[in-house]
Amino acid sequence: MTAIVECRGVTKDYRQGAIDVPALRGVDLTVEKGDFASLAGPSGSGKTTLLNVVGGLDRPTKGSIAIEGEEITGLDNDTLADLRLHKIGFVFQAYNLIPVFSAVENVEFILQLLGVSPKERRARARALLHDVALDGLENRRPARLSGGQQQRVAVARALASRPAIVLADEPTANLDTKTAEDLIALMSQLNEKLGITFLMSTHDSRVIERTRRQIEITDGRITADERRK
């Protein structure tokens, strides 16, 4: 299998007053192409911190992280931002959509950053919104979309750059049961049909049960890693 993410000996300490508080303690993790994986653990276990360092939103204190074989821990900020744009899609708990943009414009924004022509980016954005079952809602702004619909726009936006991996931080946390189950089913379908690699932090049993790889993290350490056949 092709390794999309390789973490070796990753630690992350946060300074609190005169004390360094460890959030990650020597994490070793490989995410392979096509994985549909949950990263589970209690609050404060290091889930979000691990996603942030893998996604280049934060830097580890020690250790190495490679995305598709490219070591990212020593990259300067501009190069790291470019790598995030091209190789990593993000889905956040709070959606993080641009409120004055319509659904299609939110997806197009990533393509605009990539230099895609207006005609092509509109076509690609509409196709992505079709993939996440938002036909007919392309011109609605976030305020006129339900929470589940906003999260679907966020998923479409995360896929816009055709990234190597999508990192989702508690993607169902703000959704009701039916909407959360629909979103999980959607991401599973995207994984199976399009081969998109997902790594999701969660404490939601509904997400964990649907993923084909379950990784557990406790006190900043990987404590279990199982694949479901």
Residue 199 belongs to domain with CATH number: 3.40.50.300
Burial tier of 118 (Cβ tally within 10 Å: 0-12, 13-18, 19+): exposed
Total domains present in the chain: 1
Q: Where are the alpha helices (DSSP H) in the chain?
A: 47-54, 77-87, 103-113, 118-131, 147-159, 177-194, 205-210
CA 119 to chain centre: 27
pLDDT of residue 93: 84
pLDDT of residue 218: 96
7-51 pLDDT, tens per residue? 999 999 998 888 989 999 999 999 999 999 999 998 889 999 999
How far is residue 124's CA from residue 126's CA, in Å, rounded to a whole number? 5
∠ CA 44-212-194, rounded to 5°: 110
> Which strands form 165-169's sheet, in the order they lie side by side?
88-91, 165-169, 198-202, 36-40, 213-218, 221-227
**112, 161 contact by CB (below 8 A):** no
pLDDT of residue 157: 95
pLDDT of residue 18: 86
Amino acid at 83: L
For the chain, residues with pLDDT lower than 70 are none
pLDDT of residue 55: 95
**7, 65 contact by CB (below 8 A):** yes
Supply the DSSP symbol for 145: S
First to last CA, the chain: 15
- Range of the structural domain that residue 35 is part of: 3-227
Alpha-carbon distance values, 175 to 31, 57, 106, 187 (Å) = 27, 25, 20, 15
